[in-house]
Structure 1
């Protein structure tokens, strides 16, 4: 969703999918803010619970929306599609991977991630920090393009197989970092075969919303159990969170539809249209502000989160505005 090639969609798309993107990026910022604070000040059951619930939903939502929005882009001529991948994935990935690595190496004494030295070539096979997202999303879209000639049923079958393989391998292949993320690739493949109008219809159905709440509740129950012990590995990566992911996606779309009918629609949709600069820079904003607050003696977790989460969303938007005025958005990989 953050970096999916923009599909040609009718104006009637209105604000709902952009609002869903905004909800998704806010969840990402909140999740990383929580993880940073928990690592800096010590883990708590409440913090673990919130992290697991967020992780059960936010990446499934992103990949689902990316597949849903990429349908038109997947039909572009090969060279056009390749240029899109290069500008929207390869360049931002390489540039900001090196920026993040350099930041962690320079401030390892105060950050939660320790990097002794920067090895630029390693980014080709080992994404740093959150950059795995662009790596996997770009590859997923390339795979979707290759599979486009297949019947819809075949693409869905491959998607389901990848979801299962990714979930089953989540705890069994610690050195093969890419394999567990195949579950997101599978979800994206399935989403490329779906009709956005029918998905909207499902999200508007009261019975479907109730079912989605039940599914999401199952994830919160498992999250409560997981919160009793330290989180090991990627949160919410087990099969038992799959129903919660489905419920969370549907509820996010329902919430987006509701917000699209309010006075907040325009402002929230604008956030959804600027997810790339937020994604690429939010970890730097969160880390810098958290470190500054902790070193200033602030230890109230709620206060720290209340400051850094809005800043992690809004400061990149301010930076993106300056970049547009200077004509630097493409150079920075933000457009």
Structure 2
């Protein structure tokens, strides 16, 4: 089973399409991208919430089924979307590229790993010593800490893709697919997750025109799209229940199929303008990703210790909702209290000039 501290999170959204050939709105955010990201970030919070509650309680609840259903595609979709708009910026000079794609995420990793570690340090110290706690903190810059592995790994994907852009794309894709099916397990998160996820990120970059074409087709033909979604849901659920979703090659196929399903679902929701809460969550997916651990953990501890709600599934659902809404509340409170640095990179941490009026936030 996937650990609650790994294999789940966010991607930057954009405003225009990937490698050409298929057009998308250039003056506003791409609506279905935000819906798709919103669905996935909620599933990420749900995974951490449900598995955390079940681990602490020593039993499972009805929410476990939803977590298992989403496992094959939860992260593939995020990473695929992360690569969609890369072709627009990959040929920038290295200084600007590193500023936008490496320093940006490194800043938020340092800030939030320090915050997360601060909350957990007393418990670590009680089990070992403060010296060991200090070493653990330093180790978090080599071994990604807790839920933050995504923004640790994403800059690596950006750099590797730029470094290999002169290599035949098919060769890179085949190597990435082989790494996913090889099930590399070194014990080091960055290495293992790179091998497991790079194929999806690179596919987003390489096949962006086809992704936008899929979205356009779903928007134009909602009936067949809904039928395809229903078929996918049945197949995905069946393979998960049977245990086949973990098989080599099958997991790769399910990852791409699930990513296509979420893209289709996001497109249909955007077309109907339903469930705008998911769109809002998608627009602020990394804000949720960075901050959800605190309201999630606090709510879980409160509910399990008081026992006011005996059903573990219901507790898991409440903790999930608290994680999403609580993170957005923390973001708003930070902005109102002048703690913008938690979600917006200060000027001092830019290594390349900003364009006039540009403000890159964690959510971007």
Question: TM-score, normalised to structure 2's length?
Answer: 0.76
Matched, 1:58 2:74: yes
Match of 2:296 in 1: 286
What SS is found at the alignment partner of 1:143? helix
Is residue 77 of structure 1 aligned with residue 77 of structure 2? no
1:311 aligns with 2:322: yes
SS in 1 for 2:68: helix
Runs of 4 or more, structure 1, over 6 Å off, are none
Structure 1 unmatched ranges of 5 or more: 111-115, 228-234
Tell me if 1:67 matches 2:67: no
How far the C-alpha of 1:11 sits from its partner, in A, is: 2.8
**In structure 1, what is the equivalent of residue 192 of structure 2?**
180
Does 2:96 correspond to 1:88? no
Q: Deviations over 1:277-301 (max 9, x none)?
A: 1001212221111011111113312
Select which of 145, 153, 165 maps to 2:179.
165
Instruction: Provide the residue aligned with 1:256 in structure 2.
Output: 266
1:3 Cα deviation after fit: 4.2
> Judging changes above 3 Å, is the alpha-carbon distance between structure 1 residues 34 and 192 closer, same or farther for their aligned structure 2 residues?
same
* Structure 2 counterpart of 1:113: none
Contact (CA 8 Å) 2:37, 2:282: kept in 1 or not? yes
- Displacement of 1:44 in angstroms is 3.4
In structure 2, the residue matched to 1:24 is 40
Does structure 1 conserve the Cα–Cα contact (< 8 Å) formed by 2:13 and 2:34?
Answer: no
Q: Secondary structure at the match of 1:124?
A: coil
| Native 8 Å contact 2:144 2:190 kept in 1 | no
Over residues 262-320 of structure 1, what are the superposed CA-to-partner deviations in whole Å (9 max), with x where a residue is unaligned? Answer: 34465432221111110012122211110111111133123212322122111211222
Q: Any idea what SS the aligned residue of 2:90 has?
A: helix
Is the 2:183–2:196 Cα contact (8 Å) retained in structure 1?
no
Structure-2 separation of matches of 1:59 and 1:261:
24
Aligned match of 2:5:
none
2:23 alignment counterpart = none
- TM-superposed CA distance for 1:25, in Å, is 0.4
Q: Which moved more, 1:61-70 or 1:11-20?
A: 11-20
Contact 2:44/2:74 (CA < 8 Å) preserved in 1? yes
Identify if the C-alpha distance between structure 1 residues 245 and 208 changes in structure 2 by more than 3 Å, giving closer, same or farther. Answer: farther
CA contact under 8 A between 1:74 and 1:81: conserved in structure 2? yes
- Cα distance in 1 for partners of 2:214, 2:104 equals 26
Report the number of matched residues.
319
**Residue 141 (1) aligns with residue 158 (2):** yes
Structure-2 residue corresponding to 1:232: none
Q: What is the aligned-residue RMSD (CA, Å)? A: 3.1
Q: Indicate conservation of the 8 Å contact 1:167/1:239, yes or no.
A: yes
Report the CA distance shift for 1:155/1:133 in structure 2 as closer, same or farther (over 3 A).
same
Unpaired runs of 5+ residues, structure 2, are 1-8, 18-25, 127-131, 345-360
Deviation at 1:239, TM superposition (A): 3.6
Change (3 A) 1:313 1:47: closer
Counterpart position of 1:132: 149
Report the Cα distance in structure 1 between the residues aligned to 2:212 and 2:233, rounded to whole angstroms: 23
Deviates more, 1:190-199 or 1:51-60: 190-199
Partner of 1:223: 240
1:198 is matched with which residue? 213
TM-score, scaled to structure 1: 0.82
Q: In the alignment, which residue of structure 2 is the partner of 1:320? A: 331
Q: 1:41 aligns with which of 54, 57, 63?
A: 57
